[in-house]
Structure 1
């Protein structure tokens, strides 16, 4: 008689526990009464890494574009990236933490007396500009090509994928070298040379954007091949929706997680690509500067004047990490299939038992 008694006691204890929501029901309850935009914002601002990346990126963006100015807008820093001044403290950084002070040249100076803080901020401007242009162009082309190829299949897919294969095998470095040589001929009289001489960063960003979209196109095509067979797509076809509406209103929002993650990865890789091209001498050219060009120019001073190398490298790492964190948070916010484990809520449910 003891065993049935114990079973009855266990059943009584289980009935006394509060009901535990099924998997996925808790998120639905929390999102009840919220619009899609409010749900996305709530998920994004609940992502700690995304917030840290967002704050870091906007801090770098604000510092870079306000300190040395941008275009006709003047900056608050006293030097520009081309000003040459007498060496202070033998070119070493004048910034110190104890006591806290910045001094005349907080990041130091190069051999001829140019302020490294101004050069680093100018380089960050150029790198961020290239990154945004590449992300916009590559994201747009990759999404359009991948969605059309994955949805229509047949000859449309064959033509677009063969075009993608052709772009993949073209070496970006070789094309960048050719573009750099054409842009460097200021006296050639061509419109491209005259435009590139004054807008070298824009030309570099547009060129790279038309080269690096192929990976995103293949991933979007794979997502569309899966999503085009779902029931909601069949329902949209039956209701009379056009192909473009099905692609951009029904399928693409469900693939937005893949798109956002890969666009942000492309943007962070774009900085490294621009750095590599400038390091090899086919990217941004003097008298302008970029983070990659600063590393290239100061690589020989790594053992004697390491601050000339570390500051541009630090900003490259910070920009890339912040973009990746932002992309991770956007993926979790837009993709309904992503569910983040909440340790506090799990502990609360265990304690209630």
Structure 2
């Protein structure tokens, strides 16, 4: 028998490539859908969160406006005035922009008493506040993750020492401890390397020192995650295979706790803006000739009744930045935590009505199956929403769910 005839006999009765076959009578058709990776699910959930998307867009606009108008480092900005440049008062310093017709004018946010442009000062203050916020988030995130990971994984004396240190820092008032740290960062003792570095990088030093204050909450959360994850089977398998403790912590456990780290990192950054604002308002944060949003409010609080625009604009940007970061954090929390998933009762009711109207199966989309939400008649929502395996429900002749 030739090789060609043998191949024909082997594939006899099988469908041709690309040809769809109908299921046999009485056999339930299999609904196939392309699965989604964790990154795809997180992106879809995050960009499906309206508040997080709006917050991300508004924060991006503020970030671009702050860093492009005043410039950063050697990169010049497009705005014609600097934050410390004094110019003659125009129209007694009132804002020059208008809506009809739309025009910025020379000083859209107005001027202070000595003629400095408030738009330039506000953009410089937003720039400095964002830099401090990012530095505090990075420093606090690194310290909190390391302390929480070591305490949760090793337990014993390591956990006792690290958690007692955390408790000591927690009981000290944050504002008081931050004020002491910022005063230390602002020292200008001549002849020391720290004085020279702080003189040229005052905002960076302030952010680093404040980062040593606000890491305690993240450390306790990471410790709780590690206490739970260290008992899982994949960790035991890694130990049996001979993996080192460092590899187990950073390659096996930490990737599974990244959602907690990212979400709480955004909340730390949001609180960092308010902390920096409070310190600058009290005079122990960013100091002149530099500026920040909190320092602008402190300097112009007496002009609230006579020149209110000097108080409104810095306050507005503080509120906008904090709201944007909080909305982004809410979106990340919903994206990384499947238990936060909302159950759509209207869709479930319509599918059940459709299923009871006839024997046909309700159509399922790739999005439904990809996230574990089956629209097949008789299925309840997926395990991600309720923490268990999908449950199959059928009805007995009396109509009760079994």
TM-score by length of 1: 0.85
Structure 2 spans left out of the alignment, 5+ residues: 1-27, 356-402
> Aligned pair in 2 of structure 1 residues 142, 311: CA closer, same or farther (>3 Å)?
same
Aligned equivalent of 1:39, options 33, 38, 41: 41
Q: SS at 2:214's partner residue? A: coil
Q: Post-superposition shift, 1:325?
A: 1.3
Q: SS at 1:229's partner residue? A: coil
Stretch moving more, 131-140 or 329-338: 329-338
Aligned equivalent of 2:312, options 310, 313, 316: 310
Q: Post-superposition shift, 1:257?
A: 2.8
Q: Post-superposition shift, 1:194?
A: 1.8
Match of 1:85 in 2: 87
Aligned equivalent of 1:103, options 102, 105, 118: 105
Stretch moving more, 339-348 or 88-97: 339-348
Match of 2:327 in 1: 325
Q: Post-superposition shift, 1:206?
A: 0.2
After TM superposition, list the pairs within 5 Å mapping 1:115-264 onto structure 2.
115-182=117-184, 186=188, 188-264=190-266
Deviations 1:195-238 (A, max 9, x none): 11121100100001111101110111122222323344334434
> Aligned pair in 2 of structure 1 residues 298, 158: CA closer, same or farther (>3 Å)?
same
Whether the 8 Å CA contact 2:181–2:210 is kept in 1: the answer is no
> Aligned pair in 2 of structure 1 residues 178, 328: CA closer, same or farther (>3 Å)?
closer
CA distance in structure 2 between the partners assigned to 1:145 and 1:259 by the alignment: 13
Match of 1:6 in 2: none
Q: Post-superposition shift, 1:343?
A: 6.9
CA distance in structure 2 between the partners assigned to 1:171 and 1:190 by the alignment: 30
Q: SS at 1:79's partner residue? A: coil
Whether the 8 Å CA contact 1:182–1:193 is kept in 2: the answer is no
Whether the 8 Å CA contact 2:175–2:275 is kept in 1: the answer is no
Q: Post-superposition shift, 1:249?
A: 3.1
CA distance in structure 2 between the partners assigned to 1:330 and 1:35 by the alignment: 16
CA distance in structure 2 between the partners assigned to 1:204 and 1:254 by the alignment: 32
Deviations 1:27-73 (A, max 9, x none): xx76x333332232222222222111111111100000000111111
Match of 2:61 in 1: 59
> Aligned pair in 2 of structure 1 residues 334, 177: CA closer, same or farther (>3 Å)?
closer
> Aligned pair in 2 of structure 1 residues 341, 146: CA closer, same or farther (>3 Å)?
same
Whether the 8 Å CA contact 1:257–1:332 is kept in 2: the answer is no
The root-mean-square deviation of aligned C-alpha atoms, in Å, is: 2.5
Q: SS at 2:340's partner residue? A: coil
CA distance in structure 2 between the partners assigned to 1:243 and 1:303 by the alignment: 61
Q: SS at 1:188's partner residue? A: coil
Stretch moving more, 37-46 or 316-325: 37-46
- Largest Rg, 1 or 2: 2
TM-score by length of 2: 0.75
Q: SS at 2:92's partner residue? A: helix
Select the structure with the greater relative contact order (CA < 8 A; seq sep ≥ 6). Answer: 1
CA distance in structure 1 between the partners assigned to 2:321 and 2:309 by the alignment: 18
CA distance in structure 2 between the partners assigned to 1:258 and 1:36 by the alignment: 15
